[in-house]
Chain A
Amino acid sequence: MDQVVQEEVKKAAEVYGKENLLVVLGSPDEDSAEIFAETVTAGDPTYAGPLAGIALDIPVYHILEDEMKAAIPLDVYDDQIGLMELSLDKEEICEVMKNVREGTSSF
C-alpha cells in the first residue's frame, strides 16, 4: 500500500474514528491483499509509510469475500465484479484475509 493511500486511511481514522470505518480491498492477488490488509490492521509491515508501527485494527475485507458479496445486489455484483471473481484466485485471497483478521498472517 503506497504512502498516499496509507496517509488517507490514517486521516480517515482520525476524522471519522476507526470504529466507523471498514476497508474494502480490490487487490488482484493474495500477496498484495495480505500486505494491504496487514497495513490497516497491525500497521505497515514494510515500515516505509505513515502507518508503520500504527495498529489501526480497522475491519478489512476483500471485495471477493462472501461477506461483501452478500451486502451487494447480485446483478450489480455480477456486472462489476463477476469477471474478477472468475479470473482471480478467490480461495487464496479469502484465506489470507481471514488470517490477517484473526492475527495469524505471515507477518
Chain B
Amino acid sequence: MTTPVIKGVSYCLAHTPGLVRYGSKPHREIQTDPLVLDKILNGLRSFDEAVAYLPNQVFIGNLRPHLLNQYERPWTTVPHADAERFSPWGEILPEEEFYGWLKLADVFNLVSFEAQFLAEQVKPKLALHPLMMANDMEKIGSGVSLVEIEEKVATGYALPLYVNKSQLIGAFEAGHEEDESLSAHTLLENLSNKATGIVAMRHALRSFDVQAENIQYVLGCDEEAVGDRYQRGGGNMAKSIAEHAGCMNASGADVKSFCCAPTHAVNIAGSLVQAGLYKDIVVIGGGSTAKLGMKFAGNLSKNMPIIEDQMGAIAILIGADDGKSPALRLDAVGKHDIAAGSSAQAIYEALVINPLERLGKKMTDIDKYAVELHNPDATEPNGNGNVPRGNYRTLAAMAVKRNEIERSEMKRFEEERGLPGFSPTQGHIASAIPFLGHARDMIMKQEIENAMFIGKGSLFLGKMTTLSDGMSFLIEKNKGVNPDD
C-alpha cells in the first residue's frame, strides 16, 4: 500500500476588473441603481496594483504568509516593491490575457472578441506566455468586427465585455435563448472557471515532476453548476479543464461541498492513490465570477480599491510516494459528522481533536494550522471581521480547554501556529487550501514538520439542509523511503 503525497500545488489569479460588474452582488445592485456602476468603475485598481498587492504575492507563492504581519493594514496602502507577476508555481494574469484563455477554453464559440483587440492586446502577449501549447493561438482565432459585437449585444442574449472600464471589446452569447442554465451570465461564470482552471492545471504540470500524460484522474472542487435546463449542476468541470492541459489519459469527476470541497477532494484523491487505483491525480478548482465585487461596498466605504476584482484558481497534484514530497496522512482525516453538532467546540472536536487523538498527538504537535484564509482587507470593511483570526482564537481556546496551553499563551499559539488571511474571497479557494503550496515547500525546506488543513462549508446556503460541513487533513515530512528503491 503506497502513501499518497502532495507532489505540487499551483495558484493563479486572474485580474478581471472588467467582470466585476457581473459579480452577483454588483450585478444586482447595478440593476437596482444604475449609478452604482460608476462607483464601481471608479473603485477599480490597475493590473500593476493587483500584482504589487502583498496578499496576492503570498497567494501565488512569492512571499511567505507570516511576512504579511510586518506590514500596516490595509495592505492596499503598502505595495510590494519587488512584486512579480509569475511565481515558481503560478501567476497573476492580466485581463487581456485572461480573455485570450477564455477564448481558448470556448469550444462552442460562445464568446467573440474584436479583431483589433485580439491582434494588438491579446495574441502578442500570449505568444510569449510560457504555458502556450501548439495550436493554442489558432484556437483563439482572429476575432470579429466591432459592428458584429454590437449586433450580438443588441439581441439581448449576449453580455458585453469590456476593458479599460468601458471599452467594448467582446460579447458573450447565451447557449440557448430560453434556458436559464445556459444564459450568457451563467455560461460566463462556467467558462471563466474553466479558463482559470486550465491556467492553474498547466502551471502545476509544468512546475512539478509530473507528466500530463500520466495523470489518470482529475477531481474538480469548484462551486459552479455546469449543465443545461434538464441537469443543472451535472458537472465534470474537471474533465473539461483536463482536456486543455494535455491530460489525455485522464477521466474525472467533480466533488461538491461548497467551500469544503477541496479538502474532500484531497482526501478522496489520496484514497484513490493509496488504494492503488491511480498513481497521479489532479485536484482542480477554477475561479468564480459570482463572487467578484461581493464586498465592494465595504472597500469603497473605506476609500480602498475594490480588491475582489480577481478570480483565484488552484491545482493540486496528488500521487504515489516519491520519497520526497510531503505525505498525506489518511489515518488522520477529520470529518464533521451529521450527528456531531454545530457548536464551534463540536466542529473542532470532529475536525482537529479526533484525528490528532487517533495519532496520539496533541494540538501543539502541529506546526501550522490552515483555516478559512479570507483576506481581512475584504471582510473587515464589510463588517465580517477577521475570519482567520477568529478561527485561530477558537483553536487556541480549544488548546486551553484541553490543558495543553495556559490562557496567557493563546496569543502566542495564534501567532506561531496560525496564518494571516491572504486569499481572495472565492468560496472554495479560500478554505485552508491557499496554504498547501507554502506548507509543502516549508516542509521540504525543513521550516516546519507538518501542517493541518481545516476546510468548512456552509451547506445551509443552498436551502436543502441547515447543516454545515467540515473536513480536515494532515500532511507531514516524507520519511524518505522511496518504494522504488
A and B: real partners? yes
Q: Which residues of A contact B (CB under 8 A)?
A: 28-29, 31-32, 35, 79-84, 86-88
B401 is an interface residue with CB less than 8 A from chain A? yes
Among all A-B residue pairs, the 3 with the closest Cβ atoms: A86-B397, A87-B393, A87-B397
User: Judging by beta carbons under 8 Å apart, are B385 and A80 in contact?
Assistant: no
Report 16 cross-chain contacts, Cβ distance below 8 Å, ordered by A residue: A28-B385, A31-B383, A32-B383, A32-B385, A35-B383, A80-B343, A81-B343, A82-B401, A83-B343, A83-B345, A83-B348, A83-B394, A87-B344, A87-B393, A87-B396, A87-B397
Cβ of B348: which chain A residues have Cβ within 8 Å of it?
83
User: Judging by beta carbons under 8 Å apart, are A86 and B401 in contact?
Assistant: yes
- Nearest residue, chain B, Cβ from A86: B397
User: Judging by beta carbons under 8 Å apart, are A79 and B383 in contact?
Assistant: no
User: Judging by beta carbons under 8 Å apart, are A80 and B383 in contact?
Assistant: no
Question: In chain B, residues 376-401, which have Cβ atoms closer than 8 Å to a Cβ of chain A?
Answer: 383-385, 390, 393-394, 396-398, 400-401
Distance between Cα atoms of A87 and B405 in the complex (Å): 13
Q: How far is the CB of B354 from chain A (nearest CB, A)?
A: 15
B345 is contacted by which of A28, A29, A35, A79 (Cβ under 8 Å)? A79
User: Judging by beta carbons under 8 Å apart, are A28 and B390 in contact?
Assistant: yes
Q: For chain A, what secondary structure do more than half of its interface residues adopt (helix, strand, loop), or is it mixed?
A: helix
User: Judging by beta carbons under 8 Å apart, are B394 and A84 in contact?
Assistant: yes
Distance between Cα atoms of A20 and B142 in the complex (Å): 68
7 additional contacts (CB under 8 A) given A31-B385, A87-B344, A87-B410: A32-B384, A32-B385, A80-B343, A83-B343, A84-B344, A86-B410, A87-B393
Q: How far is the CB of B93 from chain A (nearest CB, A)?
A: 33
B73 is an interface residue with CB less than 8 A from chain A? no
Cβ of B396: which chain A residues have Cβ within 8 Å of it?
87
Distance between Cα atoms of A32 and B385 in the complex (Å): 8
Distance between Cα atoms of A21 and B451 in the complex (Å): 46
Q: Which of A35, A79, A86, A87 has the most CB of B within 10 A?
A: A87
B407 is an interface residue with CB less than 8 A from chain A? yes
User: Judging by beta carbons under 8 Å apart, are B385 and A88 in contact?
Assistant: no
Distance between Cα atoms of A79 and B384 in the complex (Å): 25
Q: How far is the CB of A52 from chain B (nearest CB, A)?
A: 15
Q: How far is the CB of B395 from chain A (nearest CB, A)?
A: 8
User: Judging by beta carbons under 8 Å apart, are A79 and B343 in contact?
Assistant: yes
Distance between Cα atoms of A4 and B413 in the complex (Å): 37
Q: How far is the CB of B386 from chain A (nearest CB, A)?
A: 8
Distance between Cα atoms of A87 and B399 in the complex (Å): 11
User: Judging by beta carbons under 8 Å apart, are A83 and B344 in contact?
Assistant: yes
Distance between Cα atoms of A29 and B397 in the complex (Å): 16
Cβ of A79: which chain B residues have Cβ within 8 Å of it?
343, 345
Cβ of A32: which chain B residues have Cβ within 8 Å of it?
383-385
Cβ of B390: which chain A residues have Cβ within 8 Å of it?
28-29, 87-88
User: Judging by beta carbons under 8 Å apart, are B383 and A82 in contact?
Assistant: no
Known: A32-B385, A35-B383, A82-B401. A88 touches B343 (CB 8 A): no
User: Judging by beta carbons under 8 Å apart, are A80 and B345 in contact?
Assistant: yes
User: Judging by beta carbons under 8 Å apart, are A83 and B383 in contact?
Assistant: no
Q: How far is the CB of B174 from chain A (nearest CB, A)?
A: 30
User: Judging by beta carbons under 8 Å apart, are B345 and A82 in contact?
Assistant: yes
Q: How far is the CB of B57 from chain A (nearest CB, A)?
A: 28
Q: How far is the CB of B418 from chain A (nearest CB, A)?
A: 12
Cβ of A35: which chain B residues have Cβ within 8 Å of it?
383
Question: In chain B, residues 337-392, which have Cβ atoms closer than 8 Å to a Cβ of chain A?
Answer: 343-345, 348, 383-385, 390
Cβ of B343: which chain A residues have Cβ within 8 Å of it?
79-81, 83
Distance between Cα atoms of A80 and B341 in the complex (Å): 9
User: Judging by beta carbons under 8 Å apart, are A83 and B401 in contact?
Assistant: yes
Cβ of B397: which chain A residues have Cβ within 8 Å of it?
83-84, 86-87
A87 is contacted by which of B383, B384, B385, B394 (Cβ under 8 Å)? B394
Q: How far is the CB of A82 from chain B (nearest CB, A)?
A: 6
Distance between Cα atoms of A103 and B54 in the complex (Å): 41
Cβ of B384: which chain A residues have Cβ within 8 Å of it?
32
Distance between Cα atoms of A98 and B345 in the complex (Å): 27
Q: How far is the CB of A17 from chain B (nearest CB, A)?
A: 27
User: Judging by beta carbons under 8 Å apart, are B383 and A88 in contact?
Assistant: no
- Nearest residue, chain B, Cβ from A80: B343
Distance between Cα atoms of A75 and B343 in the complex (Å): 14
- Nearest residue, chain B, Cβ from A29: B385
Distance between Cα atoms of A81 and B410 in the complex (Å): 18
Q: How far is the CB of A22 from chain B (nearest CB, A)?
A: 21
Distance between Cα atoms of A82 and B343 in the complex (Å): 10
User: Judging by beta carbons under 8 Å apart, are A86 and B400 in contact?
Assistant: yes
Q: How far is the CB of B379 from chain A (nearest CB, A)?
A: 11
Cβ of A81: which chain B residues have Cβ within 8 Å of it?
343
Q: How far is the CB of B351 from chain A (nearest CB, A)?
A: 13
Cβ of A88: which chain B residues have Cβ within 8 Å of it?
390, 393
Distance between Cα atoms of A28 and B383 in the complex (Å): 11
